[in-house]
Chain A
Amino acid sequence: MTGPVSVPVTISGDGPGEGPPTPPADVPLTFLVAAGVGLVLGGVAVALAADRAVQWPGHPGVVSATHTVMLGFLTIGVLGALHQFGPVVAGRRLRSVAVARMTALLLIPGVWVLASGFAHSPSWMVRAGGTMTFVGVLLAAWNLSGPLATRGADITVWGLRCSVALLVATAAFGIVYAFDRTHGWFPLLQNRVMAHAHLGLLGWLGLTYVAVAEKLWPMFLLAHRPSARSGTVAVACLAAGAPLLTVGLLFSRPLALIGGTIVGIGLAAHLTSLGGVLRHRQRRLGLLHAFVITGALALLTAAVLALVGGLAPLDAVDRPRVVAAEIASLSAWLGLAVIGHAHKIVPFIRWTTLFERGKAQRPDGTPLLFEDLYSGPAAVGTFVLCSTGFAAVIVGLLVSSSTIIVLGGLAVSVGGAIAVVNLATGVRLATRGASEAVPVSNPLSRAGSMT
Chain B
Amino acid sequence: MNPVEVNPVDVNPVEVARHALRGVLDPELGVDIVALGLVYDVRVDGDTLVVDMTLTTPGCPVSQSLPGQARAAVAAVLGDMPVDVRIVWDPPWTPDYVEPEARRQLGLR
Q: Please give the residue numbers on chain A whose beta carbons come within 8 Å of chain B beta carbons, in ascending order.
A: 1-2, 4-14, 20-22, 85, 88-89, 91, 156, 215, 218-220, 222, 224, 281-284, 348, 351-352, 355, 360, 365, 367-371, 440-451
Contacts and interface: CB of A to CB of B under 8 A. Distances in A.
Given A9-B89, A12-B85, A367-B27, A447 B64 contact: no
Contact of A369 (B22, B27, B73, B95): B27
B90 A447 contact: no
B49 interface: no
A186 B20 CA distance: 70
Contacts of A224: 94-95
Contact of B41 (A6, A91, A218): A6
Contact of A12 (B56, B59, B72, B86): B86
A4 B41 CA distance: 9
B88 A448 contact: no
29 contacts: A2-B96, A4-B40, A7-B90, A9-B87, A10-B87, A10-B88, A10-B89, A12-B85, A14-B68, A14-B71, A14-B85, A20-B64, A22-B64, A219-B56, A281-B109, A282-B95, A283-B106, A283-B108, A284-B106, A367-B25, A369-B28, A369-B30, A441-B72, A442-B73, A445-B2, A447-B24, A448-B20, A448-B23, A450-B20
Contacts of B41: 6
B76 A441 contact: yes
Nearest to B24: A444
Contacts of B99: 1
B108 A370 contact: no
Interface of B: 1-4, 16, 19-20, 22-25, 27-28, 30, 37, 40-41, 52, 56-57, 59-65, 67-69, 71-77, 84-91, 94-99, 106-109
Nearest to B71: A14
B88 A222 contact: no
B-side binding surface: helix, strand, loop or mixed?
A: mixed
A431 to B, nearest CB: 13
A451 B20 CA distance: 11
A451 B2 contact: yes
Contacts of B23: 444-449
Contacts of A85: 61
A368 B3 CA distance: 18
Contacts of A2: 96-97
Residue in A218, A351, A368 whose Cβ sees the most chain B Cβ within 10 Å: A351
A284 B61 contact: no
Contact of B65 (A13, A91, A355, A442): A355
A215 B61 CA distance: 10
B109 A360 contact: no
Given A4-B40, A365-B1, 15 more contacts: A1-B97, A6-B88, A7-B88, A8-B86, A10-B88, A88-B63, A215-B59, A222-B56, A281-B109, A369-B28, A440-B72, A446-B22, A447-B23, A450-B16, A450-B77
